[in-house]
Amino acid sequence: MEPQPAGATTLAGLRGFAGRVAAVTGAGGAIGRAICSRLALEGATVIAIDRTIELADATRRVIEDAGGSAGALAVDLLVPDDIARIVPFSKDQFGRAPEILICCAGIQTFADVFDLTIEDWDRVFDVNARGTFLTMRAVSPAMQQAGQGTIVTVASIQGRLGNRYYAHYAASKAAVLSLTRSFAVALAPDRIRVNAVAPGIVDTEMWRAADRELARIRGVAPGEPRRQRIEQVPLGRPGTPDDVASAVAFLASDDASYITGECVHVCGGDVMP
């Protein structure tokens, strides 16, 4: 059977996610929503989590309109007590703790490394690195108690590289990759796998905002930073949110049962480690 695109009206349960609960942070963004839709397509019950209930609920409606099962939860990743609500919400709404956790929430700002403010550094690290750490630490004990589970973090190829104009973002995503390996080691005795995906250029509003900001900082025409980056990609195109969602679904599934502590680069060959 050919996999159907995220958001398809028939939920096939392709990878055996039926009966599993998946919690996804950053669910209101383009990549987060695609991940939620893909997991629901393959049979999971999805908890769409974002910083406002409006963003989370919009993704819940997309899933339910396609015939899937979902809940919506507002969580501010800067507030540990908010993060601590994920497992109780799952148990209350669906009768069980999440067996799948996808840490997709993230933000990005832009500045020359010599102009970068401490406030921007802290804000990006607080959401991207600290938020991922706290979320994995809050949800994984329930997985340990169940003796199974899987976690996928969403990093970035910038965590493997460096960039003058978003050094703090690149460093925060490098931290996500390091945290992924550390949790993979810590949770392996409990049969809980922890992996990462590292997207490259993905055609989202965040990337369009990046193009505008980079054009402003570098003093070039809007669209030029995007053109130059796509020109560097061996496959010759930007990625899509569904490209990332497909890799996440694989890592979350039993198809990846002997994979932990790894990172799949979803970048069209932009990075070949």
Tell me if 163 sits within 8 A of 157, measured CB to CB: no
pLDDT of 14 above 90: no
Tell me phi and psi for residue 139, to 5 degrees. -95, -30
The arithmetic mean of pLDDT across residues 236-242, rounded, is 95
pLDDT of 138 above 60: yes
Tell me if 129 sits within 8 A of 156, measured CB to CB: no
Residue range 143-153, pLDDT digits in tens: 999 999 999 99
Q: Which helix (H) or strand (E) covers residue 263, if one does?
A: strand 263-266
Ranges of beta strands (E only) in 13-99 are 21-25, 45-50, 70-74
Q: Which of 165, 166, 169, 258 is catalytic?
A: 169
Beta-bridge partner residues of 265: 198
% of the chain exceeding 90 in pLDDT: 83
pLDDT band at 15 (very low <50, low <70, confident <90, very high): low
Residues of the chain with CATH 3.40.50.720: 21-200+242-265
Query: What pTM did the predictor assign?
Result: 0.92
Q: What is the CA radius of gyration of the chain?
A: 18
pLDDT of 247 above 60: yes
Residue range 188-201, pLDDT digits in tens: 999 999 999 999 99
Which is more confidently placed, 1 or 21?
Answer: 21
Which is more confidently placed, 142 or 206?
Answer: 142
Please report the pLDDT score of residue 206 as a whole number: 82
Residue 130 CA, distance from chain mean position:
14
Which is more confidently placed, 222 or 72?
Answer: 72
Tell me if 36 sits within 8 A of 24, measured CB to CB: yes
Kindly tell me the burial class for residue 151, based on how many C-beta atoms sit within 10 Å of its own C-beta (0-12, 13-18, 19 or more): buried
Taking phi over 0 as left and psi of -120 to 50 as alpha, with beta for the rest, 148 belongs to beta
Question: Domain 21-200+242-265 carries which CATH code?
Answer: 3.40.50.720
pLDDT of 241 above 60: yes
Tell me phi and psi for residue 233, to 5 degrees. -85, 120
The arithmetic mean of pLDDT across residues 237-250, rounded, is 96
The verdict on whether 169 is a catalytic residue reads: yes
Residue range 106-134, pLDDT digits in tens: 999 999 999 999 999 999 999 999 999 99
Give the C-alpha separation, 254 to 188, whole Å.
15
pLDDT band at 210 (very low <50, low <70, confident <90, very high): confident
